[in-house]
Structure formats: C-alpha cells, structure tokens
Chain A
Amino acid sequence: MINNLTILPIVFQFLAGIILLFCWGKIGIQKTLSILLSLISVGIAIWMFDTTWKQGIQISHAGNWDSPFGISFVSDVFGATMVLLASLSGLAVSMFASGSLRKERIQFGFFPILHYLLMGLMGAFLAGDIFNLYVWFEVVIISSFVLLTLGGKKKQLEGAMKYVSLNLLASSLFLVGIGFIYGLTGTLNFADVALKIAEIPNRGLVNATAGIFFVAFGIKSAIFPLYFWLPAAYHTPPAAVSAIFGGLMTKLGVYSIIRCFTLMFGGDEFLGPLFSVVAGLTILTGGMGALLQKSMNKTFGYLIICHIGFIMAGFGMFTELAIMGAVFYLIHDIVVKTNLFMISGLVLKMNGTENIHELGGMYRNHALLSLLLAIPLFSLVGFPPLSGFWSKIFLIQGGLESREFFLIGAIILGSFLTLWVVGKIWLEVFWKKAENLPKQADGKYFHQMSAANRWLMVFPIFFLASVSLFIGLGAEHIIEVSRKISSDLMDTGPYIQAVLGNQITQP
C-alpha cells in the first residue's frame, strides 16, 4: 500500500514549526497556535495508527523512487505507536510549557524548536533506511541542544557541554557504522540490508559493525557504562524541556537499538549475552544512583537510566513474550516519564525548591492534587493495576521462560529500588510537615499565577495520568498492540516483503 499518510505527521510538524517561526516574538499567539497544532498532530497520529493497525504496513517513497533506491518512510505498528506516543507527549509538553515557561525563553523560539524536535522524533520513528535515521537523529539532537541551552544559566551550560560533546561523539560513531554497513552490503535500506547481511561470510566484521552501532545508540539511550551525561544534563533545563527529554529522547535511542538489532543484526549469539549483562548493570546502577539524590529532578534522571535497563533486559532475553513486555514497558515509560518531570516542575513552582529534604506538606495543603500526582508516581513502581505492573509481569514471565535468572533478579531488585525511591519521595514531599521552605529565587509562585496558567500546568499532568490509567486498566488493548509489535519484530519477513515488494524475487 503506497500513500502519503506515512509522511504526513512529519510534514505537519514541519509546517507547525514554520508557522510558529512566522510568529516570532508574539508570545500569546505562539502559545495558542502550538497547542492547537499539537492537537491536530495527535489527530493525524491516531489516524495513521488506525490505518496501520487495520491495513498493515504503510509505505511512502519520497520522490517516487522505489526502495531500495529511494528514501522510504515505513509505518509499521511499532513506528505508528511511537509516533502516537510522541504526539501525545508533545501535546502535554506544549500545554505545560505555555503555562509554566517564562517569557524570555519563549521569545527565543522555544515553540518552533519544540515542533522541530517532534518532527525529528517522528521522522526517526518512520525512517526506512539507516542513513535517514541518522539525519533525523541529527534533527533531534540539534533541536535538543537549543532547548537545553535556552536561557543560558551556568548550570545549564555545564550540563549542555557534556551532553553536546557526547552526542557529537555518538553521531560520528553512528556515521562510521553506516560506512561499514554500506561497505558490507552496498545498500542502506533496512529491509535490503536485512536480506544482504545474512549472506556475508565474515561474521566477525558484522559483529564489529553491530558493536559500533551498539555504542552509538547506547550513548544516546544512556545504558550502563555510557550514561554519565544524562544525570548531568537532564535536571538543568526548565521542567517542560526536561519532560520532553525524559519522555522521548532516550527512548529514541532504545527504539533505534530495537529496530536495528531485530532487522539488521537479528538473533546473534554474540549480542544476546552482551545485552543481558548491560541491561542488568544499567538497572542496578540507575536504581542505586536514584537512591542517593536529594533533588527530585536528579532522582528522576537516574530512574530513567534504571528503566531503560528494563527495556533492554526484555530485549536481552529475546523471546517473543519478553520483547512484548519490553514494548509494553516502553509505551508505559514514555507517558510516565514525561509526566514525572512535569510533576517535579509543578512542585518546584509551588514550593520554590525541589530538594526533597526541604519540601513537605504537599498532601496537607493540596490533597486532591496530591492524589492526582500519586497516579504517575505509583504507576512507575508498578502497583497493580497501574500501568507498570503488566509489563513487569511479562518481563519476568519471559525471563522464566528463557531461564535468565540474573535478569529476573535485576528486574525485581530494580523494581524494589524504584519503590524505595518513590516511597521516599512520597514520604518526604507529600506526608512530611514542611519546615521553613526557602524563598524562590526567580519567577512567581504557583498561587500567584493567573488561573489560566495554573490550569495549563495541571491539565497536562491530569491528561497523561489518565493515559497511564488507561494503559493500566485497559491493559488488554495495549497487550494486543505490544503482542503485534513483538511478533513483527521477531518475524521480519512481512516488513521486508512490504518494503521491497516484488523485487524480493529478483536476484
């Protein structure tokens, strides 16, 4: 099925960015337009997901060049789900930013860059060849550089320096990997590479290429020995930016790992153990790092690392059930992590600090709001029947099936560490009595803001909390989607058939 629907989400975000660039400096118009355009983008994403779900893989060839020669955009269920989640997070962040960001930041082009970031993410999720993935990666990271440094405080610049240099290093490694892939197979299209790489006799070279990709994507997705930039950078920008980073940026790396290591380097005896060890260590180091932190944002930063480990663990087991658990976890994690950083932004606005030892009394002062904030916090731990619960069941089942007891231990210990951290946050921030809160250094307190802005900050949290409630309570739908995705990932035949069409029979 060839049509233009696949490319529509990308083009729409591009248009949104252009429209917002034309409104440079007009803050009120930019806020309204950004929310409206994000709403339409969610509609487009739902449309695309629905079509892909019902009619199978959708492909569009840019410039009417057939794959493997041209650039193809492929929307399978995995890609369409990620686009849908990206547009939902984008909507929430765009609202939260309109409510919470200060004028100076918006004036320097926050909203256009946000939409270009979303464009890059959607492009990466729909890209059908490895070089195109690289290009979209660069679109994403250059927008993220700008978002991270907007405002230019000392703390931000220090974080940005580490983030920028490691990301540049990862990009150049990625490029080296692309060079090797092209040298080995003579093509860059995922489906074509998948066919040709299986026939290469020199497996050592293929494994080395896989290793280069693993390191490049590993830096971007913050796995065990490569995560140090994340806790240094993610807590520095304002909450709206941290939210989109925490929810989607590292997940882009994970998505690329999953895409490349199922399609191109599927099922290798060398890579399985590597994934398992890295996943276990990522869970443990992330969880223990989170225990030590006093600042809410930094805690959440370490929790991102810990939970990337869960996804990698499911992937390390490499059975259909475990990958299903990992995909379920990915879906749940995007929504919850976006929400967590918005929560910490809200807490910061209300109390003027995000140090959990200084905070307190949230439950006494704002009982209803605290109940709302409890939903994402406890979905993160995986209290049944909230959304984190189901994915962990599948992960552990998958682990038992493939007898990976080290990974099961790591997952259980990681969940326990998460519970500990969230319990600590709940005790310190919500139940403890507040003593002498420090004065807020800059900006207004929450209760001094206008009613509209307050709603704009609370509503996205409510919105994403209800999405994660839906993931938890309506789990059968998400299970169906993740089962489809994992069976697609394990059996790549239909994907290759859909992309290459009838050329598959030709020599």
Chain B
Amino acid sequence: MELLLVFLIGLMHAGGVYMLLRRSMFKMIIGLILLGNGANLLIFLLGRLVKGHPPVMADGMKVFTDIYADPLPQAVILTAIVIGFGLQSFAIILIKKVYKVLETDDLDELNSSEEEI
C-alpha cells in the first residue's frame, strides 16, 4: 500500500510539473491542482498508514494500549484541502477573467506590461 502511494505521489508531482511547463493557462492550473493534491497525499503517507484503528478510545480507557491511526495528518490534510479549494477556485475565476480581457490562453502573451520597461 505504501509503495503504491509513493508511486502515485511521484506520478502526481511529475504530471503537475509537466502541466505547469505547458504554455496554456488552463493546463497550468490543472498542474497546480495536481501538485496540491500530491502534497496532501504525501502528508497522508508520511503520517504512517494504519488500517482499521481509528484514534477513538473505548469507554473507561485513559490511554491507548493498541496501535492507532495518527489523527493529526488527517486534520492537516483536511485544512489543506479546504484552503486549496479556496485558492484554486480563485485561480479558476481569475483565468476566466484573464481570458475574457486578453482573449488568449497563451501564457507568453501576458507580457504587455513588461515590454514598456
């Protein structure tokens, strides 16, 4: 399971970087989303995978006696997903607006303010 996740994370990062290097704005955002999700999976993996042991104590217990899944990476990922959702939806709206104003999807054509020094 760990090995599968490792390859999946590597694939997501590779795909994300490949998409980032394209010249189209839309593909760039897809790349960023892939990278963000890859990072989330990485945290999930590094928090150690434990199957079937939720970190909930039985009634009357004071400490864990059993091995249990670490709840912190999950909380961290949840927060990161929510933040990523906000940022990505902003970026998508921005792309739409840029496309409307500039009428191009090519990142190389976004340099009009650079050329006049």
Contacts and interface: CB of A to CB of B under 8 A. Distances in A.
Contact of A158 (B35, B80, B86, B111): B111
A229 to B, nearest CB: 12
B46 A236 contact: no
Contacts of B23: none
Interface centre among A141, A146, A168, A235, by most chain B C-beta atoms within 10 angstroms, is: A168
Contacts of A165: 20, 28-29, 32, 91
Tell me the dominant secondary structure on chain A's binding face.
helix
B113 A182 contact: no
B76 interface: yes
A157 B42 contact: no
Interface string B49-82: 0000000000000000000000011001001100
A152 B90 contact: no
A135 B79 contact: yes
Interface centre among A134, A162, A172 (most CB of B within 10 A): A172
Given A131-B76, A168-B87, A236-B113, A161 B98 contact: yes
Size class of the A contact interface (CB-based, 8 Å) = 35 or more
Contacts of A135: 79, 83
B110 interface: yes
The listed residue with most B CB atoms (<10 A of its CB), out of A154, A155, A162, A165, is A165
B47 A157 contact: no
B102 interface: yes
A176 interface: yes
Given A165-B32, A175-B39, A175-B40, A155 B117 contact: no
A159 interface: yes
Interface range for B: 35 or more
Contacts of A141: 87
Contacts of B102: 154, 157-158
Contact of A155 (B38, B83, B95, B112): B112
A137 to B, nearest CB: 9
A149 B90 CA distance: 11
A175 to B, nearest CB: 4
A175 B43 contact: yes
A182 B32 contact: no
Contacts of A172: 32, 35-36, 38-39
15 contacts: A141-B87, A142-B87, A142-B90, A158-B102, A161-B95, A164-B90, A164-B94, A169-B32, A169-B35, A172-B36, A175-B36, A178-B76, A179-B39, A179-B45, A182-B76
Interface of B: 20, 25, 28-29, 32, 35-36, 38-40, 42-43, 45-47, 72-73, 76, 79-80, 83, 86-88, 90-91, 94-95, 97-98, 101-102, 107, 110-114, 117
Interface of A: 131, 134-135, 138, 141-142, 145-146, 149, 152, 154-155, 157-162, 164-165, 168-169, 171-173, 175-176, 178-180, 182-183, 188, 232, 235-236, 292-295, 298
